[in-house]
Structure 1
Amino acid sequence: MQIKIKLTLLYTLLVAALLSAFALTVYFTSAETREDEYFKRLKQQASTKASLLLDTKIEPHVLQLIYKKSPNALFQEEMAIYDTAFNLLYHDAVEVDKVKETKGMIDSIVAMKEIHFYLNNLQVVGFLYNHDNKHYVITAAANDEYGYAKLNALRNTLIIVLAVSIIITFFAGRFLARQSLQPVTVIVDKVKNITATNLDLRINEGNRKDEIASLAITFNEMLNRLENSFDSQKQFVSNISHEIRTPLTAMLAELQLTSKKERSIEEYKKANEHIISDIKNLVRLSNSLLDFAKASYDQTEISFKEIRIDEVLLDARNDVLHNQPAYKVKIMFEKETESDRSVSVEGNEYLLKTAFINLMENGCKFSSGNEVTVSISFDDKNVIINFSDNGIGINEEDLANIFTPFYRGKNKMFAGGNGIGLPLTLKIITLHNGKISVSSQKNEGTTFTIQLPHLQSL
């Protein structure tokens, strides 16, 4: 069901409920007022008859005749006067006595002074009447046909007005819902026309104040993120193509050069060494891309367990020295640990080791002595690892971009790389709810600092 139909129905139901409550209130208030007023009229009419009978000493049959012919008589009126001893003093001339007063009824009226009740379609009032210091009991009954006719007319009017009002409300609500949601329809139509080829299109944000404007602003922000994501993806693919093409082109050129004429064994060995180096670069690039993709997974899809950071660092050091025997990696504790949990984290050992290897290799590559120092410390919440080298440092303008995929600063001429290592490291540390920061001094060295929540704080 469309929202505008839901809004129309809800609006109609709400107004119908309010109008129904108002109509019922009017009807039952009118019914109660009619009842009270008719009891008062009955009592007043009966008191007038009693006054004529007792004050003017009119004969009962004369009074009966007067009221029988009176145009002001109440419909189906019936009145009786008793003394307190249940002696009948007067009764209207009626064919059938409908009230049929009893001794118990008279006693109740004497005790309660006045009673009201219904007898079939008749309203009956009984009250105590004083005259010349004597008490009389009067009962009066009549049918308020005129009052009921007015009440029925009011009921019918209210039903008609309620039905007409609900119909008008439905169409008014439908119009208002359509008008209110028209901007949403415009937004939907605009969004339908936005594809991967025209992500630069944006939605009109209107007055930028109401809820519709907030929706348009949110859509535009999402489109900004999508456009940036697509641009990044295009740039990422372009960079990967460049990184793969470079070693492939070098290998192709080397093979073409050696195939043009006979070469010496030494020349063939040298060409093979160049090709093997290029192949290793390709393997390293593909492994880095796979690790980058794995670090981009949702945390729930990666297995985590309790691991000691110092042990992972030692494994990473061993891998680095195995691949690059000329590198030097020094690991040290800045202070003694009182508990293994202060240097243990909940994490994925493979990914953390990959991040540590990247930082160790970077430090060694950019250090004049191919040496990096790794120090381990901890505070109340985190285990802190510093990777420090004494290399050429990072330029100020490069610091803000070093975690961007395939970005390599001005010092790339000093050492090779594919621009994946630091972005991969950032993703891995972020995946472990950690933080990474960097500080660097030109020609003095660079220090990468990693903070990971240790188990002691959990």
Structure 2
Amino acid sequence: MKIRNKLTLLFTLLVATILLIFSLSIHYFYTLYRRIEFYNRLEEKAYTTVRLLKENGINAGVLHTIDQNEITSLYEEEVTIYNEKNQAIYDSGNTPFPVTAEFLQQVRDGKTIQLHSGQKEVLAVRYLHDKDNLVIVISAVDKYGFDKVDILTNLLTIGGLASVVLVAVAGWFFSGNVMKPVTTIVRQVKEITASNLSARLETSNNQDELNQLARTFNEMLARLEESFAAQKIFVSHASHELRTPLAILTSQLEVELMQQNLPDLYRAKFESILGEIHMMNTLSNGLLELARASADANSISFSRVRIDEILWQARKELLKKNPDCQIVIDFEEQPNEEDDLIVYGNEALLKRALMNLMENGCKYSASKPVHIWLLFKPENIIIRFKDQGEGISSEDLPHIFEPFYRSHRTRHIAGHGIGLPLALKVIQMHKGSLQIESDEHQGTIATVTLPVVAA
């Protein structure tokens, strides 16, 4: 999950939790207040009724009429007054709440009882008047109070949900604003490659963590640039410096081998040394080309080149170097336009990359032909190389693009392990891709994809 989404989610959950606790607290305390307030009303009504009956001398019939017509009467109100013999001396006319003698005795002993019976709330209190110890039992439904609770519940629910939605939207924009510097850093980092290590992240005078991160990253880039530059200079200079003594040794050995009276023992030794020198020369050239392919692409000249011509030239040079190779090139389909054959790149580097792939196929095909197919797509040219060798094991396949990596199964075959890494770097420099598919004893397929100029 992206950090922006995570921040939005956490922020929304946090605020939603606070809103939920706040809403539940309001609902709980309002419900508690409603209950207390209603029982106070019941108590007030109970004492008012008994005072009218006992202190003001109003008889039960008149009091009943007053109760029926009073605008302050409670919903489904029922008032019953009991004397010391547990006889009802007054009943407001509705069905009285059923009580027991034990219940009434508890109230006479001074206990105020509050209880629920369905939607009705019941209150039982005692009233002392002269020698009378009366018990008043009053019950009613707090219809208006419950309606208010329902309205409050709906308001809190709708308001809470609407608030959560607003918080989620606000959190999305807030997290986007917070993560904007991170997004900028990610975009800038993606633009930095091995060919433009001189690029740096934008920083400001702020001392926040993100600016510290950007400055630390710039310091790391500076160290990497210095390291890469030293590596390229070393490889380039070393390869150049090796060429001169290797060329001198080669020429001297070739002159010695031209002598007719050279003993066979020395001739065999000189030929062996000459072979090793040729391998060192090949390695030196490969290192130089690898350093060149790793250099800044802006320093290498690019132009419009025909990929089919480069392919045939690479085949011709490889056969001149190794006449035993069998290279079969097949055009599966003819391009619709000439531009479908043209790519934008460096001819020498492309030729070297394609020749390396051909040479690898020849090395590991055990004198069997290497087939090359050229395919044309609307935006790409696809070149597929297929050999008939023993294939690459699953253990070796992840390492084939590592420079100087050689499998223990192929150490008897001449090579230095820089052909595929060089080919990969050249093709990536041309914004293409190189994929290797292989199964043991089934051969290897190398697929090169290059964008055409028209695309």
C-alpha deviation, 1:220, in angstroms: 1.7
1:156 aligns with 2:137: no
Q: With structure 1 as the length reference, what TM-score do the two structures score? A: 0.54
Map 1:202-241 onto structure 2 (within 5 A): 202-241=200-239
CA–CA separation in structure 2 for the residues paired with 1:264 and 1:109: 137
CA–CA separation in structure 1 for the residues paired with 2:226 and 2:133: 101
Check 1:84–1:191 CA distance in 2 against 1; reply closer, same or farther (3 A cut): same
Deviations 1:91-116 (A, max 9, x none): 1122x23x112212112223452010
1:89 aligns with 2:81: no
Q: With structure 2 as the length reference, what TM-score do the two structures score? A: 0.54
Map 1:309-328 onto structure 2 (within 5 A): none
Q: Which residue identity is paired with 2:184?
A: V
C-alpha deviation, 1:240, in angstroms: 3.3
Aligned residue number for residue 184 of structure 1: 182
Task: Provide the secondary structure at the position in 2 that maps to 1:125.
Answer: strand
Check 1:191–1:141 CA distance in 2 against 1; reply closer, same or farther (3 A cut): same
C-alpha deviation, 1:249, in angstroms: 4.1
Q: Which residue identity is paired with 1:55?
A: E
Deviations 1:383-436 (A, max 9, x none): xxxxxxxxxxxxxxxxxxxxxxxxxxxxxxxxxxxxxxxxxxxxxxxxxxxxxx
Q: Which residue identity is paired with 1:74?
A: L
Map 1:105-144 onto structure 2 (within 5 A): 105-111=103-109, 113-132=111-130, 134-144=132-142
Check 1:206–1:112 CA distance in 2 against 1; reply closer, same or farther (3 A cut): farther
CA–CA separation in structure 2 for the residues paired with 1:27 and 1:180: 35
C-alpha deviation, 1:176, in angstroms: 0.8
1:25 aligns with 2:22: no
CA–CA separation in structure 1 for the residues paired with 2:120 and 2:230: 89
Aligned residue number for residue 392 of structure 1: none
Cα pair 1:20 1:162 within 8 Å, conserved = yes
Aligned structure 1 segments of 4 or more residues deviating by more than 6 angstroms: 256-265
Map 1:237-386 onto structure 2 (within 5 A): 237-242=235-240, 244-245=242-243, 247-252=245-250, 254-255=252-253
Aligned residue number for residue 69 of structure 2: 69
Cα pair 2:77 2:141 within 8 Å, conserved = yes
C-alpha deviation, 1:25, in angstroms: 0.8
Check 1:89–1:240 CA distance in 2 against 1; reply closer, same or farther (3 A cut): same
Q: Which runs of 5+ in 2 are unaligned?
A: 285-455
Aligned residue number for residue 45 of structure 1: 45
Check 1:264–1:7 CA distance in 2 against 1; reply closer, same or farther (3 A cut): closer
Root-mean-square deviation over aligned CA pairs:
3.2
Number of residues of Structure 1 aligned to a counterpart in Structure 2: 275
Check 1:85–1:243 CA distance in 2 against 1; reply closer, same or farther (3 A cut): farther
CA–CA separation in structure 2 for the residues paired with 1:152 and 1:205: 56
Q: Which residue identity is paired with 1:14?
A: L
Aligned residue number for residue 196 of structure 2: 198
Q: Which residue identity is paired with 1:194?
A: I
Aligned residue number for residue 80 of structure 2: 80
Cα pair 2:84 2:132 within 8 Å, conserved = no
Higher alpha-carbon Rg: 1
C-alpha deviation, 1:194, in angstroms: 1.4
CA–CA separation in structure 1 for the residues paired with 2:117 and 2:130: 32
Q: Which residue identity is paired with 1:171?
A: V
Q: Which residue identity is paired with 1:46?
A: A
C-alpha deviation, 1:236, in angstroms: 2.9
Q: Which residue identity is paired with 2:165?
A: I
Q: Which residue identity is paired with 1:142?
A: A
Task: Provide the secondary structure at the position in 1 that maps to 2:196.
Answer: coil
C-alpha deviation, 1:30, in angstroms: 0.4
Task: Provide the secondary structure at the position in 2 that maps to 1:77.
Answer: strand
Deviations 1:429-455 (A, max 9, x none): xxxxxxxxxxxxxxxxxxxxxxxxxxx
C-alpha deviation, 1:262, in angstroms: 11
Cα pair 1:205 1:216 within 8 Å, conserved = yes
Q: Which runs of 5+ in 1 are unaligned?
A: 287-458
Task: Provide the secondary structure at the position in 2 that maps to 1:135.
Answer: strand
C-alpha deviation, 1:43, in angstroms: 0.5
C-alpha deviation, 1:257, in angstroms: 7.5
Deviations 1:175-219 (A, max 9, x none): 111111112221222122212221100001234422322332233
Cα pair 1:84 1:106 within 8 Å, conserved = no
C-alpha deviation, 1:264, in angstroms: 12
CA–CA separation in structure 1 for the residues paired with 2:124 and 2:255: 130
CA–CA separation in structure 1 for the residues paired with 2:261 and 2:204: 74
CA–CA separation in structure 2 for the residues paired with 1:118 and 1:65: 27
CA–CA separation in structure 2 for the residues paired with 1:239 and 1:113: 106
Q: Which residue identity is paired with 1:48?
A: T
Q: Which residue identity is paired with 1:219?
A: F
Range with greater deviation from structure 2 (162-171 or 240-249) = 240-249
CA–CA separation in structure 2 for the residues paired with 1:187 and 1:113: 74
Aligned residue number for residue 301 of structure 1: none
Q: Which residue identity is paired with 2:141?
A: N
Task: Provide the secondary structure at the position in 1 that maps to 2:12.
Answer: helix
Cα pair 2:124 2:138 within 8 Å, conserved = yes
Check 1:63–1:75 CA distance in 2 against 1; reply closer, same or farther (3 A cut): same
Deviations 1:28-85 (A, max 9, x none): 1101110011011101110111111111111111111111111011111111111233
CA–CA separation in structure 1 for the residues paired with 2:116 and 2:259: 129
